[in-house]
Each structure stands twice: as C-alpha cells, then as structure tokens.
Amino acid sequence: MTGTTRGPNDPGRRDRILDAALDVIAEHGAIKVTFRKIADAAGVPLGSLTYYFDDMQHLLTDAFTRLAESVSTRYGLLLEAAHTPEAAQDAIVEIICGKVWGTERNLLLSYELYAFATRHPELREVMRSWMQASRDSLSRHFDPLTARALDALVEGLSIHNSVDAQPTDRADVAAIVDGIVNRRTS
C-alpha cells in the first residue's frame, strides 16, 4: 500500500478516499475502479473503505457529488462576483474558456459521470443537482430560459473545445454568449 496509514481517529480519511476515488476514475475509468485501487491511492487500509461506504455505488456517488459540488462552487463564485450584465457574460466566457470547469481532468471525470449515470440511475440525481446549481447561479443574472441555454452552452462548448482540432476561440465564445443573452424574439 502506498502513502501513510492513519489511525481510527483520522478526520481527513473520508475526504482522502473521495479524492483518491476521483483520481482512480480519471486514470482507469469508473467501470474499472476497485476498492483496492482507491485504498492504495488514498494510502488507507482496504477495510477502511467499507467503514465509510456501504458499497462501490455509494462511494462513486459520493465522489461524483464531490466533483459536482467543487465545480459548482467555483462556477457560482465567478457569477456571484459579476455585478453587471456584461460582467456576467464575461464570467460565462471564462467558465467556458478558462479552467473553472473545463480542465482536462474535470472534463474527463464529467464524461465518466455522464456515461456511468446512463447505466446507474441513482447517479442521475448527482447530474440533476449539478445542472440545477449551475442554473441557479446563472439565474442571478438571466431569465430561466436564457439560464438553461447558457448552461447547455457551457457544457457543450467545453466538451467540443476539449476534442476539436480548432476549438472555438474566446472572442467567438463571447459572441455566441452575447447572441444567446441578447436574442431577438418575435
């Protein structure tokens, strides 16, 4: 086992296990995660995982929830700091083009969550909560339909840009955001 083994009064153990689970998911994929791989990565005894988590499904749900909450918090803070409509649009461009959500690791973990949730409906609630947190942050500045469209844009452009040979540049992303925000309705 790698790392250091902590005693029973190790207050950070559960968090280390969840962080290690995300690392193992990023490295091997959700379907290849094992208690042993996570315990090794966290530097904890194998038996401690079943102390904190009833089964692998519970562990993965909590790990993906941790990811969603972490990204949602950073996403929300950027939008909370925006005090004008223009600043809110700039924040959305930063979310798409910067490293708030679209880090290589976060995108990889998001792909894993999407795929795993298609076969494990209990994880869909993690995705729904994440989407709702994003929309709530966007709703500080935009009407519900615009918030929904911007939320889909954030995910869609981030995913596309992660694999596109010619990702959409910041200026074009800003123009797309502006087009959604200032859409004309007849």
- The CATH-assigned architecture of domain 64-181 is Orthogonal Bundle (1.10)
Closest by CA to 20, choosing from 82, 62, 76, is: 62
- pLDDT tens, residue by residue, 126-170: 999 999 999 999 999 999 999 999 999 999 998 898 889 999 999
Question: What's the pLDDT band for 185 if we cut at 50, 70, 90?
Answer: low
Report phi then psi at 143, rounded to 5: -65, 165
Residues 6+ apart with CB under 8 A from 26: 105, 108, 109, 112
64-181 shares the fold of 1-53: no
What string of H, E and C letters represents the secondary structure of 111-156?
HHHHHHHHHCHHHHHHHHHHHHHHHHHHCCCCCHHHHHHHHHHHHH
Taking domain 1-53, whether its CATH number is 1.10.10.60 is answered by yes
- pLDDT tens, residue by residue, 38-76: 999 999 999 999 999 999 999 999 999 999 999 999 999
Question: What's the pLDDT band for 9 if we cut at 50, 70, 90?
Answer: low
pLDDT given at position 8: 55
b/e per residue 91-109 (b: at least 16 CB within 10 A): bbbbbbbeebbbeeebbbb
Report phi then psi at 41, rounded to 5: -65, -35
Residue spans per domain, the chain: 1-53, 64-181
Does pLDDT of 26 surpass 80?
Answer: yes
